Structure 1
């Protein structure tokens, strides 16, 4: 029987550590354990903030006696799939184990409990943001989207091309945080329905952004907010930004940092970029996160002045829990058939599956005894599900085994999307 030694020197068996759903009244101490797990000393417990994402039965605590030493929670979100369907998913977050209780299998117990519950609830997919790369693959998660940003030297870029479209009769307005709280949610909901990989934004997103309820442990500084309105006055775009002051030798050389950017059409996007590139004192435009295939660099007269942001990385990870339900919900690029043999120690995705798609892009997955075209594990399946990763690339990395020549490319053709999956939001 394994033990863990706590600060007072007493030994506690792992079997004596209870994992249970917490009550709403326990959010304060649970928040304190979360802060400890994330190495944030002195951060308030903030039960009111934690309550924004409290769902009974889905917020777990690991308890050594009456002390919370592990945290875990999931939330019922909707994930936009290729084709526009909104899939109910389990969004996992706030995963910590206090330093004194690490390497005791507590994360495995909490994760196992949640994945089983998610499957029982009918959530075909689980998602999370991985703080460390090497933790979640063993639970069947694979990186499914990336963050991607750009750093633009505006002087060298030479401005945006003159031939780009503009929104006829449109206008750009600076708005207050109160207006942002009213206009932002509806605009984002319209935007995210056309962006594979996106999730909804709840109050726990908007209240910290607007300063109504700052996130504990993070300093809030009011951003600038602008919206684009079309000729009818309908909001079609939004940008949030801040300025980093820099006046070497008294000369303005400031950086404009884009914190959020939403545009429902290309003309709106161009209008917003023209505004952002013309703000006084700015010599550098830093866009920390935008769609990985966004055409922004090509908008400039000199695209070489647009360099990748140094913090670009994998972001949202995905785990398939119900293969037929997950793949039956998304749309595909055309007709075809590929047989996948999936290994999954937890059993959720394990089996030999035939993916069959018609000419309209409607697909279905069913068990089969046919010979497999591709062999992969649950991690690779999660990476491929939204189409942001390439089967051919994973095969080249020996993460997918091609058993029929050309099968990797055949699956890529089915999974391909006009717009790469992307999720700009933490949760």
Structure 2
């Protein structure tokens, strides 16, 4: 059993305490504990009073927690306000004292009071966050492409049949047109989250937290009309042996607003001289990438895992924000051990939206708020969860009916780490 140690002070930190808080973050993530002045300076610039929590044993920070405002795209394209959580650590000397529970409770309560619809995070470890009402709402996959097996003609694989063109640009160009491109993607991609100006500055090397930054190549795809439709950042290693190149192009991120634009960029990456492997970076688990290649087997899955976790803070607004695969009704009994949400709700769904209202009608499905989060973006199956005993059918066939309404034809995807 976890015992709460009330002698440890859990509270928002002051700006003067930020260096000690950052030391605790680095300790928790097994980075060098002493932060450089550059890291302190750049990270302190993000400081928001009240959104950085610390647990203090005397004068020393021994646990950390940070949240910030985010916008998350629901099924159908509506954005909802989210409480994005990051920087969560508990120093090894202070585990099992309830510190995370105290920080999480404080933050989620504040987020609900602010009017956030959901909370989000990227879970470093799977078992931790389910007990706080989070569920894995998106997954991510990395492919490694064996370029020599793709079946692409190396003389033509970098050319675009639709008449578009690919150019190499620099970071200043990316900061100029990248945000607008990302906004167009986010408008149609369930699970995508907002990127602020700092994201673009960090990911183009303007803001550097340490001396490990390696400037990537940036490739942009423009349609025949000159419109920017896809953008990629990638690095290439230098690996030769036996007088032969064995270089790997590693994609840091690649976004596009059409399959044709993405296809053109992937084929370009497979056409770079001396590159024999391409690592895709974080992609949706049903990404089209393998099928852009004449031989899809040339792209093998390197790893696949849960990615963004979601915690519902307002059931009505969450279920009314999204669209549904068809017309129908569903009565859900939602439980929440934290008491932030919960109750019985009638969902009247349609492809253009839906309504969600508290009801006294008999429930068709009973589920925890974490399981509702896993279903909300359309990725998980109520039938699968019922088979695992994590969703209870109160009426035979209710899980199948829920899937017919909630699931999406393409899987949600969060391109970002935060």
Same fold flag (TM > 0.5): yes
* Distance in 1 (alpha carbons) for counterparts of 2:339 and 2:272: 54
Does residue 188 of the first structure (1) align with residue 182 of the second (2)? yes
Shift of 1:65: 2.1
Deviation digits for residues 63-105 of structure 1, max 9, x if unmatched?
A: 2222212111111100011111110010011111122211111
Q: Is the 8 A contact 1:255 1:283 kept in 2?
A: yes
Q: Is the 8 A contact 1:167 1:230 kept in 2?
A: no
Is 177-186 or 154-163 further displaced after alignment? 154-163
| Residue 7 (structure 1) aligns with | none
Shift of 1:43: 4.5
Does residue 104 of the first structure (1) align with residue 80 of the second (2)? no
Does residue 209 of the first structure (1) align with residue 203 of the second (2)? yes
Q: Within 5 A, what are the aligned runs for 1:300-319?
A: 300-310=293-303, 312-319=304-311
| Residue 286 (structure 1) aligns with | 279
| Residue 410 (structure 1) aligns with | 401
* Distance in 2 (alpha carbons) for counterparts of 1:182 and 1:317: 31
- TM-score w.r.t. length of structure 2: 0.93
| Residue 326 (structure 1) aligns with | 318
| Residue 343 (structure 1) aligns with | 335
Secondary structure, aligned partner of 2:200? helix
Deviation digits for residues 172-200 of structure 1, max 9, x if unmatched?
A: 11011222222222221221111110111
| Residue 133 (structure 1) aligns with | 126
Shift of 1:371: 1.8
* Distance in 1 (alpha carbons) for counterparts of 2:163 and 2:129: 49
* Distance in 2 (alpha carbons) for counterparts of 1:315 and 1:280: 33
Does residue 219 of the first structure (1) align with residue 212 of the second (2)? yes
Deviation digits for residues 306-355 of structure 1, max 9, x if unmatched?
A: 21123x11011111111001111111112111111122111223212211
* Distance in 2 (alpha carbons) for counterparts of 1:58 and 1:43: 23
Shift of 1:167: 6.5
Give the direction of change, closer, same or farther, for the CA distance of 1:335–1:52 in structure 2 (3 Å limit).
Answer: farther
Is 262-271 or 102-111 further displaced after alignment? 262-271
Secondary structure, aligned partner of 1:89? strand
* Distance in 1 (alpha carbons) for counterparts of 2:283 and 2:401: 29
* Distance in 2 (alpha carbons) for counterparts of 1:223 and 1:21: 37
Secondary structure, aligned partner of 1:148? strand
Shift of 1:419: 2.9
* Distance in 2 (alpha carbons) for counterparts of 1:418 and 1:385: 14
Does residue 242 of the first structure (1) align with residue 235 of the second (2)? yes
Matched residues, number: 414
* Distance in 2 (alpha carbons) for counterparts of 1:350 and 1:42: 41
Q: Is the 8 A contact 2:324 2:406 kept in 1?
A: yes
* Distance in 2 (alpha carbons) for counterparts of 1:219 and 1:43: 16
- TM-score w.r.t. length of structure 1: 0.91
Deviation digits for residues 112-145 of structure 1, max 9, x if unmatched?
A: 0011101100001111111111111110111111
Does residue 200 of the first structure (1) align with residue 191 of the second (2)? no
Does residue 395 of the first structure (1) align with residue 386 of the second (2)? yes
**Unpaired segments ≥5 residues, structure 1:** 4-12
Deviation digits for residues 365-407 of structure 1, max 9, x if unmatched?
A: 2222222211211221111111111112212222112222221
| Residue 346 (structure 2) aligns with | 354
Following superposition, which runs of at least 4 residues in structure 1 exceed 4 angstroms of deviation?
A: 160-163
Does residue 38 of the first structure (1) align with residue 32 of the second (2)? no
* Distance in 1 (alpha carbons) for counterparts of 2:411 and 2:371: 17
Q: Is the 8 A contact 2:73 2:192 kept in 1?
A: yes
Give the direction of change, closer, same or farther, for the CA distance of 1:53–1:381 in structure 2 (3 Å limit).
Answer: farther
Shift of 1:418: 3.6
Secondary structure, aligned partner of 2:6? helix
Deviation digits for residues 18-68 of structure 1, max 9, x if unmatched?
A: 222123333222111211122222441523332343222111111222221
Is 13-22 or 148-157 further displaced after alignment? 13-22
**Unpaired segments ≥5 residues, structure 2:** none
Shift of 1:416: 2.3
| Residue 9 (structure 1) aligns with | none
| Residue 377 (structure 1) aligns with | 368
Which of 239, 249, 273 is residue 256 of structure 1 equivalent to?
249
Q: Is the 8 A contact 1:337 1:355 kept in 2?
A: yes
Q: Is the 8 A contact 1:49 1:204 kept in 2?
A: no
Secondary structure, aligned partner of 2:242? helix
